[in-house]
Structure 1
Amino acid sequence: MPGESETILLVEDEETVRVLASRVLRGHGYTVIEAVNGLNALQIAREQSEQVIDLLLTDVVMPKMGGRILVEQLSSLYPNLKVLFISGYTERATVQNGSFELQAPLLQKPFSPATLANKVREILDS
Protein backbone atom coordinates (compact mmCIF):
# COMPACT_ATOMS: atom_id res chain seq x y z
CA MET A 1 0.00 0.00 0.00
CA PRO A 2 2.28 2.77 -1.17
CA GLY A 3 1.65 6.37 -0.20
CA GLU A 4 0.64 8.81 -2.86
CA SER A 5 3.00 11.60 -1.82
CA GLU A 6 0.66 12.53 1.00
CA THR A 7 2.16 14.54 3.82
CA ILE A 8 1.84 13.44 7.43
CA LEU A 9 2.60 15.64 10.42
CA LEU A 10 3.87 13.18 13.05
CA VAL A 11 3.80 14.53 16.61
CA GLU A 12 5.28 12.27 19.28
CA ASP A 13 7.37 13.11 22.32
CA GLU A 14 8.82 9.61 22.67
CA GLU A 15 11.81 9.61 20.33
CA THR A 16 11.84 5.84 19.80
CA VAL A 17 8.18 5.78 18.74
CA ARG A 18 8.60 8.89 16.55
CA VAL A 19 11.65 7.51 14.74
CA LEU A 20 10.05 4.11 14.16
CA ALA A 21 6.75 5.57 12.95
CA SER A 22 8.55 8.01 10.67
CA ARG A 23 10.65 5.24 9.15
CA VAL A 24 7.60 3.05 8.54
CA LEU A 25 5.60 5.87 6.94
CA ARG A 26 8.49 7.04 4.73
CA GLY A 27 8.95 3.43 3.66
CA HIS A 28 5.36 3.50 2.44
CA GLY A 29 5.98 6.60 0.33
CA TYR A 30 4.65 9.33 2.61
CA THR A 31 6.32 12.66 3.25
CA VAL A 32 6.73 12.92 7.03
CA ILE A 33 7.21 16.11 9.02
CA GLU A 34 8.26 15.34 12.60
CA ALA A 35 7.52 17.34 15.74
CA VAL A 36 8.38 16.56 19.37
CA ASN A 37 5.25 18.08 20.96
CA GLY A 38 2.13 20.07 20.15
CA LEU A 39 3.77 23.49 20.37
CA ASN A 40 6.58 22.38 18.06
CA ALA A 41 4.00 21.00 15.60
CA LEU A 42 1.97 24.20 15.65
CA GLN A 43 5.09 26.25 14.96
CA ILE A 44 6.09 23.98 12.07
CA ALA A 45 2.58 24.08 10.59
CA ARG A 46 2.46 27.89 10.74
CA GLU A 47 5.91 28.20 9.14
CA GLN A 48 4.95 25.77 6.37
CA SER A 49 1.34 26.84 5.93
CA GLU A 50 1.68 26.68 2.14
CA GLN A 51 2.38 22.94 2.38
CA VAL A 52 -0.64 20.69 2.50
CA ILE A 53 -0.80 18.39 5.51
CA ASP A 54 -3.02 15.44 4.72
CA LEU A 55 -2.93 13.72 8.11
CA LEU A 56 -2.04 14.67 11.65
CA LEU A 57 -0.69 11.64 13.51
CA THR A 58 -0.34 12.76 17.10
CA ASP A 59 0.16 11.40 20.57
CA VAL A 60 -2.65 12.35 22.94
CA VAL A 61 -0.61 13.19 26.04
CA MET A 62 2.57 15.25 25.55
CA PRO A 63 4.39 17.99 27.41
CA LYS A 64 3.71 21.62 26.44
CA MET A 65 0.62 20.86 24.33
CA GLY A 66 -1.33 17.64 23.96
CA GLY A 67 -2.95 16.22 20.86
CA ARG A 68 -6.51 17.40 21.48
CA ILE A 69 -5.50 21.05 21.85
CA LEU A 70 -3.20 20.72 18.84
CA VAL A 71 -6.11 19.51 16.71
CA GLU A 72 -8.20 22.50 17.82
CA GLN A 73 -5.37 24.90 16.94
CA LEU A 74 -4.59 23.33 13.56
CA SER A 75 -8.22 23.15 12.43
CA SER A 76 -8.16 26.84 11.51
CA LEU A 77 -5.11 26.35 9.27
CA TYR A 78 -6.26 23.02 7.86
CA PRO A 79 -10.07 22.76 8.07
CA ASN A 80 -10.17 19.35 6.32
CA LEU A 81 -7.28 17.84 8.27
CA LYS A 82 -7.61 14.14 8.97
CA VAL A 83 -6.43 13.00 12.40
CA LEU A 84 -5.20 9.78 13.96
CA PHE A 85 -4.45 9.85 17.68
CA ILE A 86 -1.90 7.48 19.19
CA SER A 87 -1.66 6.73 22.88
CA GLY A 88 -0.22 4.35 25.40
CA TYR A 89 -3.51 4.65 27.27
CA THR A 90 -6.53 2.62 26.25
CA GLU A 91 -9.36 4.45 24.54
CA ARG A 92 -11.64 3.85 27.52
CA ALA A 93 -9.06 5.12 30.05
CA THR A 94 -8.38 8.19 27.94
CA VAL A 95 -12.06 9.11 27.70
CA GLN A 96 -12.90 8.21 31.32
CA ASN A 97 -10.06 10.33 32.65
CA GLY A 98 -11.30 13.28 30.64
CA SER A 99 -8.13 13.62 28.60
CA PHE A 100 -10.22 14.20 25.53
CA GLU A 101 -13.43 13.20 23.87
CA LEU A 102 -12.80 11.06 20.84
CA GLN A 103 -13.23 13.07 17.68
CA ALA A 104 -10.83 10.92 15.68
CA PRO A 105 -9.65 7.31 15.66
CA LEU A 106 -7.18 6.16 18.31
CA LEU A 107 -4.33 3.73 17.66
CA GLN A 108 -3.09 2.21 20.89
CA LYS A 109 0.63 1.80 21.55
CA PRO A 110 2.43 -0.43 21.06
CA PHE A 111 1.45 -1.00 17.44
CA SER A 112 3.10 -2.96 14.67
CA PRO A 113 4.49 -1.27 11.56
CA ALA A 114 1.81 -3.00 9.46
CA THR A 115 -0.98 -1.85 11.77
CA LEU A 116 0.27 1.74 11.60
CA ALA A 117 0.57 1.70 7.81
CA ASN A 118 -2.86 0.12 7.35
CA LYS A 119 -4.61 2.53 9.74
CA VAL A 120 -2.98 5.58 8.12
CA ARG A 121 -4.04 4.40 4.65
CA GLU A 122 -7.58 3.70 5.89
CA ILE A 123 -7.94 7.21 7.31
CA LEU A 124 -6.43 8.92 4.27
CA ASP A 125 -8.81 6.99 2.01
CA SER A 126 -11.88 7.82 4.14
Structure 2
Amino acid sequence: MSQTQRAFNLPESEFAEPRRQYVKDPSVTTRHITKGEKLLWTLAGVAVFLLAALMITNQTRLYLTSQDIQTLQDKLGNQSKITQQLKADADSLSSPDRIVNFAEKQLGLKLDINNIKVLP
Protein backbone atom coordinates (compact mmCIF):
# COMPACT_ATOMS: atom_id res chain seq x y z
CA MET A 1 0.00 0.00 0.00
CA SER A 2 1.02 3.52 -0.62
CA GLN A 3 1.52 6.01 2.14
CA THR A 4 -1.65 7.97 1.38
CA GLN A 5 -3.75 4.79 1.50
CA ARG A 6 -2.27 3.83 4.82
CA ALA A 7 -2.90 7.32 6.14
CA PHE A 8 -6.57 7.15 5.38
CA ASN A 9 -6.96 3.37 5.78
CA LEU A 10 -8.62 3.08 2.43
CA PRO A 11 -8.53 -0.07 0.40
CA GLU A 12 -6.13 -0.17 -2.48
CA SER A 13 -8.78 -0.80 -5.11
CA GLU A 14 -10.27 2.69 -4.82
CA PHE A 15 -7.04 4.32 -5.91
CA ALA A 16 -6.22 1.88 -8.67
CA GLU A 17 -6.01 3.30 -12.14
CA PRO A 18 -8.84 2.47 -14.46
CA ARG A 19 -8.11 -0.09 -17.08
CA ARG A 20 -7.24 1.31 -20.44
CA GLN A 21 -8.74 -0.13 -23.51
CA TYR A 22 -6.57 0.06 -26.53
CA VAL A 23 -8.30 0.80 -29.80
CA LYS A 24 -6.81 -0.82 -32.81
CA ASP A 25 -5.64 1.77 -35.34
CA PRO A 26 -7.74 1.82 -38.45
CA SER A 27 -5.94 0.16 -41.29
CA VAL A 28 -4.54 2.62 -43.80
CA THR A 29 -4.93 1.52 -47.36
CA THR A 30 -2.26 2.79 -49.66
CA ARG A 31 -3.28 3.87 -53.11
CA HIS A 32 -1.34 2.29 -55.89
CA ILE A 33 -0.29 4.37 -58.91
CA THR A 34 -1.61 2.91 -62.12
CA LYS A 35 0.34 2.62 -65.35
CA GLY A 36 -1.86 5.27 -66.95
CA GLU A 37 -1.11 7.75 -64.18
CA LYS A 38 2.59 7.03 -64.50
CA LEU A 39 2.37 7.63 -68.23
CA LEU A 40 0.47 10.90 -67.76
CA TRP A 41 2.94 12.19 -65.16
CA THR A 42 5.84 11.21 -67.39
CA LEU A 43 4.31 12.99 -70.37
CA ALA A 44 3.61 16.07 -68.24
CA GLY A 45 7.24 16.10 -67.06
CA VAL A 46 8.52 15.79 -70.62
CA ALA A 47 6.18 18.60 -71.73
CA VAL A 48 7.42 20.88 -68.94
CA PHE A 49 11.03 20.07 -69.83
CA LEU A 50 10.45 20.78 -73.53
CA LEU A 51 8.70 24.06 -72.78
CA ALA A 52 11.57 25.12 -70.53
CA ALA A 53 14.09 24.19 -73.23
CA LEU A 54 12.05 26.15 -75.80
CA MET A 55 11.99 29.22 -73.57
CA ILE A 56 15.74 29.04 -73.00
CA THR A 57 16.34 28.65 -76.73
CA ASN A 58 14.19 31.67 -77.54
CA GLN A 59 15.93 33.77 -74.89
CA THR A 60 19.30 32.76 -76.32
CA ARG A 61 18.20 33.75 -79.83
CA LEU A 62 16.94 37.09 -78.57
CA TYR A 63 20.22 37.73 -76.76
CA LEU A 64 22.32 36.88 -79.80
CA THR A 65 20.10 39.00 -82.05
CA SER A 66 20.36 41.96 -79.70
CA GLN A 67 24.15 41.57 -79.71
CA ASP A 68 24.15 41.58 -83.53
CA ILE A 69 21.96 44.68 -83.55
CA GLN A 70 24.30 46.41 -81.13
CA THR A 71 27.38 45.64 -83.25
CA LEU A 72 25.60 46.85 -86.38
CA GLN A 73 24.59 50.08 -84.62
CA ASP A 74 28.20 50.60 -83.56
CA LYS A 75 29.38 50.06 -87.13
CA LEU A 76 26.70 52.43 -88.39
CA GLY A 77 27.82 55.09 -85.90
CA ASN A 78 31.44 54.70 -86.99
CA GLN A 79 30.48 54.90 -90.66
CA SER A 80 28.39 58.02 -90.10
CA LYS A 81 31.37 59.68 -88.37
CA ILE A 82 33.61 58.75 -91.31
CA THR A 83 30.99 60.02 -93.77
CA GLN A 84 30.67 63.35 -91.95
CA GLN A 85 34.45 63.73 -91.92
CA LEU A 86 34.65 62.98 -95.63
CA LYS A 87 31.84 65.47 -96.38
CA ALA A 88 33.68 68.13 -94.40
CA ASP A 89 36.87 67.36 -96.34
CA ALA A 90 34.98 67.50 -99.65
CA ASP A 91 33.41 70.83 -98.72
CA SER A 92 36.79 72.30 -97.79
CA LEU A 93 38.38 70.99 -101.00
CA SER A 94 35.57 72.30 -103.23
CA SER A 95 35.48 75.81 -101.81
CA PRO A 96 35.60 78.50 -104.53
CA ASP A 97 38.59 80.27 -102.97
CA ARG A 98 40.65 77.09 -103.03
CA ILE A 99 39.71 76.36 -106.64
CA VAL A 100 40.67 79.90 -107.73
CA ASN A 101 43.92 79.70 -105.79
CA PHE A 102 44.74 76.29 -107.30
CA ALA A 103 43.91 77.52 -110.84
CA GLU A 104 46.09 80.59 -110.51
CA LYS A 105 49.11 78.98 -108.87
CA GLN A 106 49.19 75.45 -110.29
CA LEU A 107 47.63 75.88 -113.70
CA GLY A 108 48.62 79.48 -114.43
CA LEU A 109 45.08 80.62 -115.15
CA LYS A 110 43.79 84.11 -114.40
CA LEU A 111 40.31 85.12 -113.31
CA ASP A 112 38.75 87.63 -115.65
CA ILE A 113 35.32 88.70 -114.46
CA ASN A 114 34.42 90.10 -117.89
CA ASN A 115 34.66 86.60 -119.45
CA ILE A 116 32.31 84.99 -116.92
CA LYS A 117 28.87 84.13 -118.26
CA VAL A 118 26.05 83.14 -115.98
CA LEU A 119 23.63 80.60 -117.39
CA PRO A 120 19.97 80.72 -116.41
Q: Same-fold call, TM > 0.5?
A: no
Q: Which has the higher contact order (CA 8 A, sep 6+)?
A: 1
TM-score for the superposition, normalised by structure 1: 0.14
TM-score for the superposition, normalised by structure 2: 0.15
- Structure showing greater radius of gyration is 2
Q: Greater strand percent: which structure? A: 1
Q: Greater helix percent: which structure? A: 2
